[in-house]
Amino acid sequence: MHFALLAESYLAAAEAESALKATDDGLIWLENNAEHQFYSVVHLCRGQAFCLLEDFRRGQAEYEQVLSTACRQEGKLWEIRAGTSLARLWRDQGKRTEARDLLAPIYDWFTEGFDTPVLKEAKALLDELA
């Protein structure tokens, strides 16, 4: 988690290369220690870093990896976070319908917590895509 927090700090300062280095270190640590609970947050940070570097193909691949893992592990928080990030990327690429079709079913799964920042962000994006 420390590597993810460090990466998020670098991302907030728009230091994508440093964020990628932190996530690389985090992935090594996760593999060496057979820890997988922070796998999604590390890959989400990687996706954000790649998008900041305008490597949208690799950013999308990272978001899709988080979505796949979250679905497999039934991790709805990571699913909505990755879905929102990927939908935002697709919106920016002019793929508005695909973005909405991806995010709407994930958002609709939730029955509470609509006042949380994660769900507020997803809802605002869905409203924009409507």
**pLDDT by position in tens, the chain (length 130):** 789 899 999 999 999 999 999 999 999 988 888 777 788 899 999 999 999 999 999 999 999 999 998 988 888 999 999 999 999 999 999 999 999 999 999 999 999 999 999 999 999 999 999 9
DSSP string, the chain: -HHHHHHHHHHHTT-HHHHHHHHHHHHHHHHHTT--TTHHHHHHHHHHHHHHTT-HHHHHHHHHHHHHHHHHHT-HHHHHHHHHHHHHHHHHTT-HHHHHHHHHHHHHH--S-TTSHHHHHHHHHHHHH-
Model pTM greater than 0.95?
A: no
For domain 2-129, the CATH class is: mainly alpha
